[in-house]
Amino acid sequence: MTMTSISNKQLGEQIGRNAGSFYANDIAARLVYFSIQRGETEFTAHGAVVATTGEHTGRSAKDKFIVDDENTHDKVWWDNAKAMTPADFDTLLADMTEFLKGEDIFLQQLYAGADTEHRFNVEVYSPSAWHALFIRNLLIRPERGDLAGFEPNVTIVHAPGFKADPARHNTRTETVIACDFTRNIVLIGGTAYAGEIKKSVFSLFNYHAPAKDVFPMHCSANTSATGETALFFGLSGTGKTTLSTDPARALIGDDEHGWSERGIFNIEGGCYAKTVKLSREAEPEIFGATEKFATILENVIIDKDTAIPDFDDVSLTENTRTAYPLTALENVSESGVGAPPKTVIFLTADAFGVMPPIAKLTPEQAIYHFLSGYTAKVAGTERGVTEPQATFSACFGAPFMALHPTVYGEMLKKRLEESGADCWLLNTGWTGGAYGVGKRISISTSRRLLTAAINGSLRSAPMRTDPFFGFTVPVEMETVRADILDPRSRWSDKDAYDAQARMLVNLFIENFAKFGEVAQDLAEAGPKASSAA
């Protein structure tokens, strides 16, 4: 049998036959045991486990490839993806399976998708017990009785110790994440960063879902006691996980969802939250989850004597993480599904200090900001970043978008028209000046603004039109000081604020130009060049 013709099931059977020892669908407690016994992790004082990922402490976006075949050639957004030939993929697959021969292999059979109509049956094969625990925490765990007839339609081969050969496999480096969207096979080698596994599933979903009229979304979701759903789009560091984890609202999901004509559904069964500067006071639910047995802490430093995590220590990376199942939280949706949303929140962390803390968006403005996907990096988050830098990631998740962003923009437009959802832009960034001068908007202030947007009280608030960005901004509300709502008033040098705002407007305009004529009509909903003059 050639690698070209091998099915998902046959591939899995081959890996299992060639394994040293084979462990299928071990529960969390056994995976914790194996990870400790094998020296992969160590316990914290509370029974969570800590793992380190070595050289790679984040995604290796430049080492991700998609197989260019007759199905994907005219469909994939190649401006955003590197192509791999089917022959190179098959060589890589053969070499990787050969590399895993004789290794102990941990298999996890899991669901991706709470809606059974749009669900993937995912098999993940890894020689690492803690990575098996990670993906078990993150995806949806089938009932034991459902495993007997489990038929995979997605297979992920995870070999962190495997090193690709750029000359043989036509990769960029020894690290590779290769996705075959036709056969739904993913190969991950040369990196121990666990996020590559979960994001590969999302990449597959982003490619296939639109064909079934399902809008794939990089967002969190929660719901009220009366069933009113809210969505939270945002890039890393904007507060997506923090703000959607609310004791007063049931969490549907943390990071990845689909939106069909029936409503929204979680793709996952867990959370993968940032832990940098995590505190019990500011984020009690997430902090509490880090103290649960079998929660994973990734690249978090623990005290040698007490085994207590130090979430302020970022000596390994700013991108410290925790991975836990939704069951680690108190208030979660049991079904993982929700009604079409009443509220859609776009999150940004504006480090330039010029965007208001909240703004109301028209549907056209919502699509513009969805396609823009703006936030800002600050000094210290990445090597070489010393001043705030604007970041635009289409659809708030460009690295995972297999199709052109306007495909997803059209799907958002359709769903907003059907649902009539209110759309808001919530800025969790800096006020009173840019990063280094001003202060970051407090989580408590962001929560008060968010609550007012979701419960509808902001709809009747007096509004002004922002002269730079064109959206409407509340002038006053009971729970937030008026000067917080007007960022310009908090700058001592108003001319400096205006110059900074014009600079950011120009960055929006320059970024949106890359979408060309296909999105020209949407450009009218964004900041205008006249305001940047």
DSSP 8-state code for residue 442:
P
Catalytic residue among 321, 342, 415, 490: 321
Catalytic residue among 44, 57, 59, 183: 59
404 is catalytic: no
Nearest one of 66, 95, 280 to 190, comparing CA atoms: 95
Distance from first CA to last CA of the chain, Å, rounded? 65
- Which residues neighbour 364 within 8 Å (Cβ) at sequence distance 6 or greater? 522, 524, 525
- Compute φ and ψ for 475, nearest 5 degrees: -90, -35
241 is catalytic: yes
Catalytic residue among 136, 158, 218, 257: 218
73 is catalytic: no
Does the CA dihedral 418-419-424-428 come out positive or negative? negative
255 is catalytic: yes
369 is catalytic: no
Rounded CA separation 122/506 (Å): 43
444 is catalytic: no
Rounded CA separation 202/401 (Å): 9
321 is catalytic: yes
Q: H/E element holding 428? A: none
Cross-sheet strand order for the sheet of 296-298 = 42-43, 49-51, 296-298, 321-325, 270-274
Nearest one of 205, 181, 332, 333 to 258, comparing CA atoms: 205
Catalytic residue among 136, 141, 198, 240: 240
Catalytic residue among 35, 236, 295, 428: 236
Q: Tell how far CA 419 is from the center of its chain.
A: 24
DSSP 8-state code for residue 422:
E
DSSP 8-state code for residue 26:
-
Nearest one of 470, 217, 432 to 346, comparing CA atoms: 217
97 is catalytic: no
Strand partners, 464: 473
Q: Tell how far CA 506 is from the center of its chain.
A: 27
Catalytic residue among 88, 255, 350, 422: 255
Strand, coil or helix: what is 237?
Answer: coil
Rounded CA separation 308/297 (Å): 11
Q: H/E element holding 426? A: strand 422-427
Catalytic residue among 131, 136, 158, 199: 199
Burial (CB count within 10 angstroms: exposed 0-12, middle 13-18, buried 19+), residue 399: middle
Catalytic residue among 203, 241, 343, 406: 241
What residues are labeled active site? 59, 199, 218, 236, 240-241, 255, 321
